[in-house]
Amino acid sequence: MDATPAPAYVLTGETGDWEVVIGLEVHAQVISTAKLFSGASTTFGAAPNSQVSLVDAAMPGMLPVINRACVEQAVRTGLGLRAHINNRSVFARKNYFYADLPQGYQISQYELPVVGEGKVILDMPDGSSRTVGIERLHLEQDAGKSLHDQHPTKSFIDLNRSGVALMEIVSKPDMRSPEEAGAYLRKLRSILRYLGTCDGNMEEGSMRADVNVSVRPVGDTGLRTRCEVKNVNSVRFVMQAIEVEAQRHIEIWESGGTVDQETRLFDPAKGETRSMRSKEEAHDYRYFPDPDLLPLEFDDAFVENIRATLPELPDDKKARFIADYGLTPYDASVLVVDRREADFFEAVAKGRDGKTAANWVISTLFGTLNKKGVGIEDSPVSAENLGKLIDLIADDTISGRIAKDVYEIMVETGGAPDAIVEERGLKQVTDTGAIEAAIDAVMAANPDKVAEVKGGKEKLLGWFTGQVMKATQGKANPGMVNDLLKKKILG
């Protein structure tokens, strides 16, 4: 974390100001064709219990065998988080009983995780940056799913998810506001997607967050008791959960009580957290090294081979966009969130003015995508065409105003801007004679206003420009219109 930052987010209570301390544990489902310890498929949405191997169902005598691809993904993620990679790590059993946990234990990593300390840089809306430390990343199996709504008295179990590889990414308690937590989740998701190690889809549950929250009076440096809010499944809910949980803590402390360490659930409908298990009820997981698996060991070459295939990551891309395209840090951070969007931007910006390209992509295109509810891959306007549109403005073929119209037609038809301009006769009028004729007509119709301008009310010139543009259906070059108007009226 940056050195002694002033708290950006302060909650004012009865007795004074409070700061909130947040740490996140994110469970990210690894993109892999097979599960962590079995060959069963990991495709989402298959018929219940259709993707279950003997190992996943914990049949007697079945043994786990590590899936190398999942280890590569974890290392890849660790490198993306600028983290220390542990060449030797150990799988451990986390023991507890549940109907959708067939082995009666989850194979996880406990004392020796595959990835150690790293960091994530947050891009705040004001363009500033904050650093959040990563404590560790470890590999573990997901559990199956209990379905309680299929039968009036029975619960059903779907083991398709049982054994799917998860990365648990644990942050340090470095966040101080719901906004930072949100920015952390978005940035983490962005990095995972760049790396291709997790699809980051919180709605499908392939990324889930447990939120650790505590509060302390502003100025205090010690940590007070934290609560863990489990399984929050959207960035918005994480931010809400932090707000209400922090408020709850402040109320308890201020009324002379103490916060109990416990696990809580967030109820988005009621906007509150509820106790799930107290510390006394907490499971004793009886972790111990899994005797069915050897320690996970690999050499530096294994790591370096993965490093060699890493893509340019958001932070590096952002820096390059600022340097190469002259973008503001904020615009650059917006453009690099999604790798495909960043690629799109670059295709538009290549050989053109970067800032103009950024404006078009961020202000105009992203608005269109938002409105249509589609991703960049389904953009109705291709990067090539958006680039051409910018070119048409730059070489004065069309005006900025006409460009907006052409853009809308491009959105509707998917057509190329030069063809649209051609077909619809939208070329800017740069013929002095034609513009002068239009000016003359407007002046003739409004002699009183001409007199006013001549009398010193030069502001009215703008009104004349508008009238001329209207008369030419916007095709007249506005600069030329202005110049000619001044010449004709003011002499």
Partner 1 sequence: MTKLTDLTIAEARRGLAAKDFTAVDLAEAHIAAMEAHAGLNAYVTPTPDTAREMAAASDARIAKGEAGAMEGIPLAIKDLFCTDGTRTTAGSNILGNFVPPYESTVSANLWGAGAVLLGKANLDEFAMGSSNTTSAFGGAVNPWTRAAEPDRQLVPGGSSGGSAAAVAARLALGATGTDTGGSIRQPASFCGISGLKPTYGRCSRWGIVAFASSLDQAGPMARTVGDVAIMLGAMAGHDPKDSTSAPVAVPDFTAALEQGVKGLTVGIPKEYRPDEGLSPEIEAIWTRGMEMLKDAGAETVDISLPHTKYALATYYIIAPAEASSNLARYDGVRYGLRVLDEGDGLNDMYCKTRAAGFGAEVKRRILIGTYALSAGYYDAYYLKAQKVRSLIAKDFKDAFDTSVDVILTPTTPSAAFPMDDEPTDPVTMYLNDVFTVPTSLAGLPGLSVPVALTEQGLPQGLQLIGRPFDEETVLRAGRALEKAAAFTATPRLLEG
Residues forming the site for partner 1 (CB under 8 A)? 54, 57-66, 93, 95, 97-99, 102-105, 155, 157, 284, 286-288, 291-294
Pairing of strands 88-89, 11-12: unpaired
> Which stretch of DSSP H or E encloses residue 215?
strand 207-217
> Between 96 and 445, whose beta carbon lies closer to partner 1?
96
Round to the nearest angstrom and report the end-to-end CA distance of the chain. Answer: 64
Which one-letter DSSP state was computed for residue 224?
A: -
The dihedral formed by the CA atoms of 321, 324, 325 and 330, expressed in degrees to the nearest 10: 30
In degrees and rounded to multiples of 5, residue 199 shows phi and psi of -80, -10
> Between 293 and 362, whose beta carbon lies closer to partner 1?
293
For residue 481 the two structure tokens come to: 């219109």
Asked whether 137 and 77 are in contact (CB, 8 A), the reply is: yes
Largest Cα span, the chain: 100
> Between 93 and 339, whose beta carbon lies closer to partner 1?
93
> Between 291 and 425, whose beta carbon lies closer to partner 1?
291
Asked whether 122 and 132 are in contact (CB, 8 A), the reply is: yes
> Between 68 and 457, whose beta carbon lies closer to partner 1?
68
Least Å from the CB of residue 33 to partner 1:
18
Q: 274 forms bridges with which residues in the sheet? A: 265
Question: Within 13 Å and on the Cβ side, how many CA atoms surround 474?
Answer: 13
Q: Of 395, 441, 447, 389, whose CA–CA distance to 415 is shortest? A: 389
Asked whether 382 and 407 are in contact (CB, 8 A), the reply is: no
SS3 category, 278: strand
Integer Cα distance of 331 and 109 in angstroms: 39
Q: Of 421, 332, 336, 344, whose CA–CA distance to 381 is shortest? A: 344
In degrees and rounded to multiples of 5, residue 439 shows phi and psi of -65, -45
Distance of CA 399 to the CA centre of its chain: 35
Asked whether 82 and 118 are in contact (CB, 8 A), the reply is: yes
CB atoms within 10 A of CB 406: 25
Q: 175 forms bridges with which residues in the sheet? A: 22
Least Å from the CB of residue 14 to partner 1:
38
For residue 297 the two structure tokens come to: 């060991």
Q: 129 forms bridges with which residues in the sheet? A: 123
Least Å from the CB of residue 103 to partner 1:
5
Q: Of 258, 290, 343, whose CA–CA distance to 108 is shortest? A: 290
Q: Write the burial class of residue 416 (CB in 10 Å: 0-12 exposed, 13-18 middle, 19+ buried).
A: middle
Backbone CA torsion sign across 181, 182, 188, 189: positive
